Copies of this chain bind each other. A is one copy, B any other.
Amino acid sequence: MTYRAPVKDMLFCMEHLAGLERVAQLPGFEEAGLDTAQAVLSECAKLNEDVIAPLNRDGDQNPSAWKDGHVATTPGFKAAFRQFVEGGWQGLQHPAEFGGQGLPKTIGAACIEMVNGANLSFALCPLLTDGAIEALLTAGSPEQQSVYLPKMIDGSWTGTMNLTEPQAGSDLAAVRTRAEPQPDGTYRIFGTKIFITFGEHDMADNIVHLVLARVAGAPEGVKGISLFIVPKYLVNGDGSLGARNDVHCVSIEHKLGIKASPTAVMQYGDAGGAVGMLIGEENRGLEYMFIMMNAARYAVGMQGVALAERAYQQAVQYARDRVQSRPADGSLPGAGPILHHPDVRRMLMTMRAYTEGCRAMALVAASAYDAAHAHPDAEVRRDNQAFYEFMVPLVKGFSTEMSIDVASLGVQVHGGMGFIEETGAAQYYRDAKILTIYEGTTAIQANDLVGRKTVRDGGKVARSIAAQIERTEADLASQGGAAAAAVRMRLEAARRAFLDVVDFVVAEARTRPGAAYAGSVPYLMLAGNLMAGWQMARALLVAEDRRARGEEPAFMAAKVATARFYADHILSKAPGVRDSIVDGSIGVTDMALEAF
């Protein structure tokens, strides 16, 4: 099964929903118009379809393997990574002064979808490196930047993110890894980190670990955590590689999915201490790590979109090829491809609608990121930043939760064959389950949505987005067609449900926080559903308009059908979720703990 990058839909989203031409008016992005996007996406598609995608199944069958502290990646990964970095893909969104291409996130995000669609395990290595680059760009000293960034951007070295410890999990307050200051200004690092993605591998010359640790005497909790660079090989003054640092991979995990991506247990300082360089100031590590984590959270959301796209493509192919039974609705005189079966179509439409909706949501968020960083007007920057920050937990949480359902439907379309590993559909089902967990579980995203993104500003940003959605409803009403009318009805109901929940959450957070947080994940799901559905509604307006003008009628007709399906089958869940949140907190909090 090959993977075809969904270039056409990506360009549609960029042009018509994310406003790429406006992005290309931002200072520094003047070259990043539609032509550039087209050229970049088509190059990116070629590499991913031809080189990286075919290794996806190999990676599952022949995962990364640990031996004596070394990790051998799946055969073919190393060479493919060479091609990836030689094509400049690691540096796509990073500054030209360090060798990057300086493209906007609006384009970069689509490329990230592609490499993840091609091969989720493979893509994790550049994904984590991107995050480490971001952190160094923001908080690294000029010297650190000049030593590490060019090599990371050109792909000679990769990066990792070391947060989790066995006793701490997601609770960074419980981090115990310690850093001892040395007379030369460096630190010695001691401790164990787990769940370190690509913590050890053979695809690059060096691995730059960014490590959270506690300096002796630091305050308790998250306010006493500092961030350190701990390279696998120390770097000499001339930039060449020096001594092996005292950091070692002691094992890798046996996992449900993403088996080609080595998940390492890293041991720091067993032989005297790993040499670490402080990033920024002591005790501000969490703040810097969040830079990295926010980039990674968005990217994990894109992984959800990417995986869903791939599962969809494989299911469609199977449904075209597999001939079986007369359809239940009698639409064929005898047996035919199962694509004719009504429920197979419903499943495929569900997969497609979720995927397109979440892609559109993510690309719209990406263009807000670009405006937030590059727009000359501070107020515009601030508004876009607020919008982007509201969207990140939705992109991460909703797109990954939906990817599990989509992958499960993908297996289901295959029937019994889906349960046989060689078919390949089961791999997506296994791989998908990590996406709702790493870089912060869905519950952690939802806490962020409730606390920092909704309660903190009293629901202001949430309501301002709802006001924008209301304008889309008015546009749908003016459009006048049956599909637009159907979508408008569902969009309005979902928006009202969302506003009720925002009011509820804001009101309850202080007086009855248990009630507000009992509905946090349902709120995230409702909000993500609404935002993706809103983009599908906007897409419908564009598509109806283009179709009326005879432009790409087949593509536009499919977009209209998908938007309508989204509204009737996915957005229609929103009012019920509102009821669960607003009326249902007692059901969550009433159970005695000992009765579970």
Binding site for B on A (CB under 8 A): 164, 168-171, 173-174, 194-195, 253-257, 316, 319-320, 322, 324-325, 327-331, 335, 339-346, 348-349, 352, 404, 408, 411-412, 415-416, 418-422, 426, 429-430, 433-434, 436-438, 441-443, 446-447, 450-451, 486, 490, 513-514, 516-518, 520-522, 554-555, 557-558, 561-562, 564-569, 572-577, 579-580, 583-584, 586-596
A310 to chain B, nearest CB (A): 15
A-B contact pairs, 21 of them (CB 8 A): A174-B335, A256-B430, A257-B419, A328-B450, A328-B451, A328-B520, A341-B443, A342-B520, A342-B588, A344-B443, A345-B518, A346-B518, A404-B408, A419-B434, A430-B430, A561-B591, A564-B586, A564-B587, A567-B587, A568-B583, A572-B583
Chain B positions within 8 Å of A316 at CB level: 596
Q: Contacting A573 at CB < 8 Å: which of B330, B415, B576? A: B576
Interfacial chain B residues near A561, Cβ < 8 Å: 587, 590-591, 595
- Flag if A513 contacts B579 (CB, 8 Å): no
Nearest Cβ distance between residue A497 and chain B, in whole angstroms? 10
Minimal beta-carbon separation of A346 from chain B (angstroms): 5
Minimum CB–CB distance from A107 to chain B (whole Å) comes to 26
Which 5 A-B pairs rank lowest in CB-CB distance, beginning with the nearest?
Answer: A565-B587, A568-B584, A343-B443, A558-B595, A342-B517
By the criterion CB–CB under 8 Å, are B420 and A254 in contact?
yes
A contact patch SS: helix
CB distance from A61 to the nearest CB of B (A): 10
* Contact flag A572-B588 (CB < 8 Å), given A255-B420, A325-B171, A437-B415: no
Given contacts A587-B568, A589-B345, A596-B319, whether A436 and B412 have CB atoms under 8 Å apart is: yes
Q: In the complex, A164 Cα to B419 Cα: how many Å?
A: 15
- Asked if A433 contacts B437 (CB within 8 A), the reply is no
Select A329's contact among B517, B576, B590, beta carbons within 8 Å: B517
Cα distance A54–B513 in the bound complex, in angstroms? 41
Residues of B within 8 A of A554 (CB): 592, 594-595
CA distance A104 to B521 in the complex (A): 43
Chain B contacts for A421, CB-based, 8 A: 254-256
Contact of A517 among B171, B253, B343, B557 (CB under 8 A): B343
